[in-house]
Amino acid sequence: MASIIDASPKRRALQAAYNAEHGITPESVVRAIEDVMSSVYARDYAPVPAIREPGDNFRTQAELDAEIARLEAEMKGAAANLDFERAAALRDSVKSLRSRELGLTSLPAGR
């Protein structure tokens, strides 16, 4: 530990000599928040596109069940094709239809 602490001033002196020789003036990195937020990491997280839900056009429980089954099949197909954003949106549509099936008007956040 002591040898590392002793090496720091020597490294600083070498860096200062190099900077002076090459006309380099050290400066802090200054970035706008927009630059940081639009970095590669931030662009990796895209919002999940919403799937239009059909209105309350179900006349019978069988029609509702058929729509839920169709959406579930489409969701599984999207997941099999590695289209996880679409699969997640379809999953949310199925949840919404099931909440109607149970007579719920809206689900609490996070459910």
Residue 85 above 80 pLDDT? yes
Burial of 62 (0-12, 13-18, 19+ CB in 10 A): exposed
Percent of the chain predicted with pLDDT > 70: 68
Q: Tell me, yes or no, if the pTM score tops 0.85.
A: no
Predicted pLDDT of residue 90: 92
Q: For 56-81, write each residue's pLDDT tens digit.
A: 577 788 888 888 999 999 999 999 99
| Token output for 110 | 């996070």
